[in-house]
Chain A
Amino acid sequence: MNLLKRIFVKVGILPFLLIILFILFSIAESRFISISNILNVSRQATYLAIVTTAQMMTILCAGFDLSVGSSVALTGIAASMVMVSIQDPILAITLGILTGIGVAAFIGLINGITIALFGVSPFVVTLGMMSVAHGFALLISGGAPIFNLPSQLNQTLGIGKIGGIPIPLLMACCIIAIIYIMLSKTRVGRYFYAIGGNKEAARLSGIPVKKYTCLAYVLCGILTGIAGIMLTARVASGEPNLGSAFPLESIAAAVIGGVSLRGGEGNLIGAIFGAVLIVLIRNGMDLINISSYLQMVVMGALLIFAVVMDRLRLSIKSV
Chain B
Amino acid sequence: MPESLLKAVNITKNFPGVKALDKVCFELQAGEVHVLFGENGAGKSTLIKIFAGSLIPDKGEILLKGSPVSFRNPYDARKKGISAVYQEFSLINQLSVAENIFLGAEIKKIGILDDKKMLQKAEKILNELNFPLNPKKKVGDLKRAERQMTEIAKAFKNRIKILILDEPTASLTDMEVKRLFEIIKNLSAKGVGIIYISHRINEFKKIGDRITILRNGKNVGALDMAEAKEEKLITLMTGQSVKNIFPKIPFKTNEVILSVKNLSTRDGLKNISFDVRRGEILGVAGLVGSGKSRIGRSIFSLEEICAGEIIFEKKQIKKISPKNCIEKGIIYSPADRHKEGLVLCRSVKENQTLASISLFERRGFINLNKETETVRKVVDKMSIHPPDLDRKIKNLSGGNQQKVVLSRGLNQKIKLFIFDEATCGIDIGAKHEVYLFLKEQILKGAAVIYISSELPEILRLCHTIMVISSGEISSIMQSEDASEEKILTNYFGMEAV
Contact = CB atoms under 8 A, between A and B. Distances in A.
B350 A194 contact: yes
Contacts of B361: 187
A208 B323 CA distance: 8
A273 interface: no
Contact of A207 (B323, B334, B339): B323
A205 B366 contact: no
B326 A201 contact: no
A26 interface: no
Interface of B, helix, strand, loop or mixed by DSSP: mixed
Contacts of A201: 339-343, 354
In this complex, the interface size class of chain B, counting residues with CB under 8 Å from chain A, is 20 to 34
B16 A318 contact: yes
A200 interface: yes
A206 B344 contact: no
B366 A204 contact: no
A204 B332 contact: yes
Interface in A146-184: 181
Interface residues of A, number: 25
A181 B341 CA distance: 27
A187 B343 contact: no
A204 B334 contact: yes
Contacts of A264: 343, 345-346
Nearest to B336: A200
B104 interface: no
Nearest to A318: B16
A187 B357 contact: yes
B364 interface: yes
Given A186-B365, A200-B339, A205 B322 contact: yes
B94 interface: no
A197 B323 contact: no
A260 interface: yes
B408 interface: yes
Contacts of B346: 193-194, 197, 264
Contacts of B364: 186
B482 interface: no
B358 interface: yes
Contact of A202 (B302, B325, B354): B354
Nearest to B327: A206
Interface string B291-326: 000000000101000000000000000000111111
A190 B339 contact: no
Interface string A251-262: 000000000101
Interface in B261-284: none
A198 B332 CA distance: 16
Interface string B329-365: 0001010000111111110001000110110010011
B496 interface: no
A191 B354 CA distance: 8
B368 interface: yes
Contacts of B343: 193-194, 197-198, 201-202, 264
Interface string A127-146: 00000000000000000000
A61 to B, nearest CB: 12
A198 B302 contact: no
Interface string B357-400: 11001001110100000000000000000000000000000000
A319 interface: yes
Contacts of B322: 203-206
A11 to B, nearest CB: 15
Contacts of B324: 206
Nearest to B347: A193
Given A193-B346, A193-B350, A185 B366 contact: yes
A181 B365 CA distance: 9
A181 to B, nearest CB: 8
A72 B249 CA distance: 64
A185 B343 CA distance: 18
Contacts of B350: 190, 193-194
Contacts of B355: 204-206
Interface string B139-153: 000000000000000
A262 B394 CA distance: 15
B274 to A, nearest CB: 22
B300 A204 contact: yes
B365 A197 contact: no
Contacts of B339: 198, 200-201
A205 B16 CA distance: 29
Contacts of A193: 343, 346, 350
A265 B392 CA distance: 11
Contacts of A200: 339-340
B357 A197 contact: no
Contacts of B365: 181, 185-186
Nearest to B367: A185
Given A185-B366, A190-B350, A197 B345 contact: yes
A201 B333 CA distance: 10
B408 A260 contact: no
Interface in A304-318: 318
Nearest to A208: B323
B358 to A, nearest CB: 7
B324 to A, nearest CB: 8
A278 B346 CA distance: 28
Nearest to B361: A187
Contacts of A204: 300, 302, 322, 332, 334, 340-341, 355
Contacts of B325: 206
A203 B300 CA distance: 11
A185 B354 contact: no
Contacts of A198: 339-340, 342-344
B342 to A, nearest CB: 6
B366 A186 contact: yes
B109 to A, nearest CB: 42
B345 A205 contact: no
Given A191-B357, A203-B322, A206-B355, 11 more contacts: A193-B343, A197-B345, A198-B340, A198-B344, A201-B342, A204-B322, A205-B408, A206-B322, A206-B324, A264-B343, A318-B16
23 contacts: A181-B365, A185-B366, A186-B364, A190-B366, A191-B357, A193-B346, A194-B346, A197-B343, A197-B345, A200-B340, A201-B339, A204-B302, A204-B334, A204-B341, A204-B355, A205-B355, A206-B324, A206-B326, A206-B355, A207-B323, A208-B323, A260-B345, A265-B345
Going nearest first, the 6 A-B pairs with the smallest beta carbon separation are A197-B343, A206-B323, A205-B355, A205-B354, A206-B326, A198-B343
Interface of A: 181, 185-187, 190-191, 193-194, 197-198, 200-208, 260, 262, 264-265, 318-319
